[in-house]
Chains A and B, each alone.
Chain A
Amino acid sequence: MSRAVAIAGVGQTKYLRRHAELSGAELVRQAVLRALRDADIDLDAIGLIVGGVAPDALAGVNHIDLSSIVRPGTPYFRVNTGGATGSSALLAATSWLRAGRCDAALVVALERMGHATTSQKVFNSIFDPIYEKDISLSTISMVAMRATMLMQEQGFTVDHWAGLAAKNSKSAQLNDTLDRPRLFTAADVLASPILAWPIHALEACPMSEGACVAVLMAQPLVGKRKVAWIQGAAGLTDTYAMGDRMRRPQGSLVDLHTLIRSAEKAYSQAGITRPAEQIDCVEIQAPFASAEAMAYLALRLCEARSGPRFADTLIAGTARVAVNPSGGPQAANPVSATALIRIAECALQVRGMAGLRQQDGIRRAVATGQGGATQFSTCVVLGSERP
């Protein structure tokens, strides 16, 4: 039987469009010191550091993750699964701890994309250079295309995208990791310029830099600390070509097969059989409203064909489950760190330490990670009770 693992501390820098006063390594150090203090542990007790850093070209520094080594002499490796990088790094560290290879680990995620002046051109370079890159695909146009399929197949409308973006901008106002987050209404979203139909400018996540760090501990070390236990954790991959996933026997592109199966596995480990009743809080790695909506059914927060109605309850503020109380990635989406931030936010909620954005009675929270052209999904269940 493998050992139980918990998140004992988190550290976050502010998430800003650019951190002109701090180098990458300084951002990492700031988040590391906050996380160690939160976990009440010394750096010398850390037996593993996993660096989560996504495409180098966003920072313009090849092997930018070398800034996240933190402590020479400690085992270190890097994980890169695009937008799911932070959560994939946490899954890797969890495996080490469960296997008994160390008792405490740091997961370090750094995003330095403020350096990039042509970020969508950088994102174009993640696509297949033989068949797809020449069609000027970018992450925004990729998400926009999936949104049209959600509208065709599940009945979402442009008003849902605007309403969800406004909902998240309102939640973001209480998040102290952000600096004067944007506040806007659904009407403001619809009045903002179209980036790539159906995405309007205010629906898109802003460029964001920063570092997020989590301290993971195996059960023997936890003691009396107030921790968020990892009750379930799973991640899966899918094929590179989006066109191959359009209509398969297991579902369409927007059914998000990888998240369905990741959630099934994580829920099973956590003993969750009725997700809509047993999960109190969800942080979805969704840089756009349609990406958030794509996860509702995969996470079984709603019934089949009721996604748009579930979105209506979130927009109206009447849903039982809190979805992205931090404001989510639409408020700040530092690509390498964003999936770890979802987990950190869930850990804060479960530990009752989320400050002004704390929700009432959070016993169990679920964080997703989503990366590449939706090649990578992760699902992590955190709870106050030890598994």
Chain B
Amino acid sequence: MADNDLITIPGLWNFQYNYFAGATASRFFNALRHEARIYGTQCAKCGRVLVPARSFCDACFVETQGWIHTGPGGVLEIFTIVATQFPGLPPPPFVIGYVTLDGADTAILNRVEGVDLGDIDVAAKKLMARVRVTAKFSDERQGRITDFVFVPQSPP
């Protein structure tokens, strides 16, 4: 090796964590798991139904109240079709998007499945129409946001 060769030193961050979901999100996840339902909470001041459930409204900074069953239908507000493999992220292609569920005032993020991704541009054009979707729950639920995905109500 020459004296002026540039050295790089390999590194790895692989810290382990346990994220505390808190009481409100825990109740939301338990309802996903046991009831296959998506609940929101309502702001006592502005009346917005927040989905996923939060203990307080960020806009009014007051506690929410009530558990309100939302969906399972809703509108796909925005989306993207991930078409390239990024190191450390899932294999493409897949669709993610924000959905405003029926009865909710905010949108929730999740995967969108059941869309033919053979031609990305064609699939995207169909999803641009703010299509109606429905939450589809998996059979073996674990109390995680990944317990459900969205699927188009009629094949787009």
Contacts and interface: CB of A to CB of B under 8 A. Distances in A.
On whether the two chains bind one another, the answer is yes
Interface of A: 20-21, 57, 60, 115, 117-118, 120-121, 124, 129-132, 134-138, 140-141, 144-149, 151-152, 193-199, 201, 239-244, 246-248, 253
Contacts of B130: 152
A239 B109 contact: no
B110 A135 contact: yes
Contact of B109 (A132, A195, A198): A132
A207 to B, nearest CB: 12
A138 B86 contact: yes
A135 B109 contact: yes
A239 B58 contact: yes
A141 to B, nearest CB: 5
Contact of A60 (B11, B120, B121): B11
A375 B58 CA distance: 13
B2 to A, nearest CB: 14
Contacts of A134: 144-146
A82 B18 CA distance: 24
B100 interface: yes
A196 B77 contact: no
B117 to A, nearest CB: 10
A20 B81 contact: no
A63 B82 CA distance: 32
A195 B78 contact: no
Given A20-B6, A130-B25, 16 more contacts: A124-B88, A132-B109, A135-B110, A140-B86, A145-B78, A147-B80, A148-B79, A196-B82, A197-B81, A198-B80, A243-B51, A243-B98, A244-B50, A244-B59, A246-B77, A246-B78
Contacts of B132: none
A20 to B, nearest CB: 5
Contact of B98 (A197, A198, A246): A246
Given A135-B109, A141-B82, A239-B59, A148 B128 contact: yes
Given A152-B128, A243-B108, A193 B87 contact: no
Nearest to A145: B78
Given A134-B146, A151-B128, A197-B81, A246 B86 contact: no
B145 A115 contact: no
Given A244-B58, A246-B98, A196 B87 contact: no
Contacts of B84: 193-196, 201
Contacts of B1: none
B96 interface: yes
A337 B56 CA distance: 34
B22 A194 contact: no
Contact of A197 (B8, B21, B22, B120): B120
Contact of A21 (B6, B80, B109, B111): B6
Contacts of A146: 78
Interface string B137-156: 00000001110000000000
Contacts of B31: none
Contact of B19 (A115, A130, A253): A130
A244 B94 CA distance: 23
A117 B51 CA distance: 35
A5 to B, nearest CB: 33
Contacts of B88: 118, 120-121, 124
